[in-house]
């Protein structure tokens, strides 16, 4: 006669059920700790920046004046610099990352695609400070000599070219900082795009080629629609990394708190401002202003991730 392996009459679960319960509670505990840590960070940033918000009100977000001597702080310059460098770097990196990933999946010989893919992944693991030092000692001097100086010598300073591409020809500006960010996020995006493209079943691609489609048509009509949701996630994660990058941007952006008048003008980001001044902030209001900048950066990143979730939801529909 068959015997039951379920709970005993007294309701005591068997051994494997006890382990399952422990596992579920352990996972719930991990999730709770994560949410508690996130809530703690948000509350700490808000409370730390509250004196600055109370002192300056809305002008903290709209003013470009940042003067520790007179204790007047406005975050508009770093906020605008953060958004410009992040989106400009994404515009530069996205088409290149797509091109690299399509080449590795569709056109590169099999014996070369794997070594190149490994090299791309290694580039994604290089510390950001290394990119910053390369930008400071190599990219900035080259850019100043071969791009900024010729424009400054030949462009009419009163014309739109001279005004838009003006700035101190030292290579430290918004555009070079965006280039560094683009180089940093490019390997990561290319590696993940490649993995996404490889998830497309080979039979689907072969069927499209069998119908007479060109490689461009296969990419456009078959592969991209198949992995569209994943691509949106990769783009938003790359943008999130560009928003929060610190040391590489600090080295090469010029660290000026005003509104940049053009791509070759010096600027600052929220992360670079905090990195530059937090160790030297002696006044309570100065410290509070820097913490308030951190809270603003958190809000911007949260908005970006929320937009990504909305886009993923629409892509799913």
Using the predicted structure, report yes or no on whether residue 9 has a pLDDT greater than 50.
Answer: no
Nearest to 65 by CA among 54, 76, 53: 76
On the CB side of 33, CA atoms within 13 Å amount to: 6
Using 50, 70 and 90 to split pLDDT, how confident is the model at 4? very low
How many beta carbons lie within 10 A of that of residue 135, not counting itself? 25
| β-strands 72-73, 66-67 pairing | antiparallel
pLDDT at 2: 46
| Whole-prediction pTM | 0.85
* Angle between helices 15-56 and 284-316 in degrees, nearest 10: 130
β-pair partners for 67:
72
User: Would residue 167 be called left, alpha or beta, if left means φ above 0 and alpha means ψ between -120 and 50 degrees?
Assistant: left
| Residue 254 DSSP class | B
* Angle between helices 174-198 and 228-244 in degrees, nearest 10: 150
Using 50, 70 and 90 to split pLDDT, how confident is the model at 162? confident
Residue 115 burial by Cβ neighbours in a 10 Å radius (0-12, 13-18, 19+):
exposed
In the predicted model, what is the mean pLDDT of residues 204-223?
Answer: 87
Using the predicted structure, report yes or no on whether residue 3 has a pLDDT greater than 50.
Answer: no
Residue 42 burial by Cβ neighbours in a 10 Å radius (0-12, 13-18, 19+):
middle
Rounded to the nearest 5°, which phi and psi values hold at 308? -60, -40
In the predicted model, what is the mean pLDDT of residues 85-99?
Answer: 94
C-alpha 191/C-alpha 123 separation (Å) is 10
Using the predicted structure, report yes or no on whether residue 314 has a pLDDT greater than 90.
Answer: no
Least confident of 16-20, 129-133, 207-211: 16-20
Using the predicted structure, report yes or no on whether residue 45 has a pLDDT greater than 90.
Answer: yes
Between CA 264 and CA 76, with CA 180 as vertex, the angle to 5 degrees is 55
Signed CA dihedral, 223, 227, 231, 234: sign only: negative
C-alpha 164/C-alpha 262 separation (Å) is 5
Please name the helix (run of DSSP H) or strand (run of DSSP E) that holds residue 72, with its range, or none.
strand 72-73
In the predicted model, what is the mean pLDDT of residues 20-35?
Answer: 93
Residue 112 burial by Cβ neighbours in a 10 Å radius (0-12, 13-18, 19+):
exposed
């Amino acid at each position: 006669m068959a015997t039951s392996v379920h709970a005993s009459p007294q309701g005591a679960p068997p051994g494997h059920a006890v382990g399952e319960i422990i596992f579920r509670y352990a996972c719930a505990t991990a999730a709770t700790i994560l949410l508690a840590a996130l809530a703690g960070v948000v509350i700490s940033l808000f409370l730390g920046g509250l004196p600055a918000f109370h002192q300056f009100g809305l002008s903290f977000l709209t003013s470009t004046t940042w003067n520790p001597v007179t204790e007047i702080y406005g975050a508009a310059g770093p906020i605008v610099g953060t958004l410009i460098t992040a989106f400009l770097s994404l515009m530069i990196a996205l088409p290149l990352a797509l091109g690299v990933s399509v080449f590795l999946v569709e056109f590169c010989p099999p014996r070369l695609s794997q070594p190149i893919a490994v090299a791309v992944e290694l580039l994604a693991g290089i510390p950001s400070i290394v990119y910053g030092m390369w930008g400071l000692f190599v990219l900035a001097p080259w850019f100043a000599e071969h791009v900024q100086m010729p424009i400054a010598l030949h462009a009419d300073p009163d014309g739109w070219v001279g005004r838009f591409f003006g700035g101190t020809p030292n290579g430290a500006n918004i555009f070079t900082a965006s280039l560094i960010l683009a180089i940093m996020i490019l390997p990561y995006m290319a590696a993940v795009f490649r993995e996404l493209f490889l998830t497309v079943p080979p039979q689907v691609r072969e069927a499209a080629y069998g119908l007479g489609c060109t490689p461009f048509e296969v990419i456009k009509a078959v592969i991209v629609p198949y992995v569209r949701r994943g691509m949106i996630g990769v783009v938003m994660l790359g943008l999130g990394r560009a928003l929060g990058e610190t040391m590489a941007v600090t080295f090469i952006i010029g660290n000026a708190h005003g509104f940049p008048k053009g791509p070759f003008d010096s600027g600052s980001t929220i992360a670079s401002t905090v990195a530059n001044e937090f160790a030297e902030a002696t006044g309570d209001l100065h410290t509070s202003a820097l913490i308030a900048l951190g809270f603003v950066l958190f809000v911007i990143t949260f908005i970006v991730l929320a937009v990504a979730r909305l886009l993923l939801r629409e892509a799913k529909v």
